[in-house]
Amino acid sequence: MNQSMNQLNELIEITRDGQRFYQHAADEVKDVELQHLFRDLAQAKTQIIQALSVKVATSHEHPSQGGTLTGRMRELYANTRSRIGDHDRAYVDQLEQTEANILHAFENAVGDAEPDVRALLAIELPKLRTCHERMRQLKEARH
């Protein structure tokens, strides 16, 4: 597998972490508005994963199907925090950090990417920035 496809698979895994975390958090939080927001953001991640997976598949490679250990640990940490503190705030805080990590990974990848991959990432980056901004604003409003 070439470097570009490895890079895309890493981004798929990081984005899948966010998708799974949002889905889990939507099931855990009590606030109906948060449930809707988390489901919307999980869907946004699904669309990004699909776009990246298509690119990997068209290069005759296998798109990653998993996530990362770091993503799973962040989810477990939020679960623990939610049990000993402000339930919804624990998820908001950790999901905002997850968004920041995803955005950072994509921004770093753009500089190293081949032109066709860079073009794909340029399409997805505004979506990621919007997701991060929504969570950042939510986090600030809850503090």
Residue ranges of the alpha helices (H) in 1-143? 3-28, 32-58, 69-84, 87-112, 115-142
**Rounded to an integer, what is the distance from CA 132 to the centroid of its chain?**
9
Amino acid identity of residue 74, one-letter, is: R
Q: Which domain holds residue 100?
A: 3-142
Domain count, the chain: 1
Residue 127, pLDDT score: 96
Rg (CA), the chain: 15
Residue 73, pLDDT above cutoff 80: no
Cα distance between residue 35 and residue 23, in whole Å = 9
Cα distance between residue 102 and residue 84, in whole Å = 27
Amino acid identity of residue 83, one-letter, is: R
Model confidence over 13-25: pLDDT tens digits? 999 999 999 999 9
**Rounded to an integer, what is the distance from CA 6 to the centroid of its chain?**
17
Model confidence over 58-72: pLDDT tens digits? 988 888 888 777 777
CATH number of domain containing 95: 1.20.1260.10
Question: What is the DSSP-derived secondary structure letter of residue 62?
Answer: P
Confidence (pTM): 0.89
Share of the chain above pLDDT 90, in %: 68
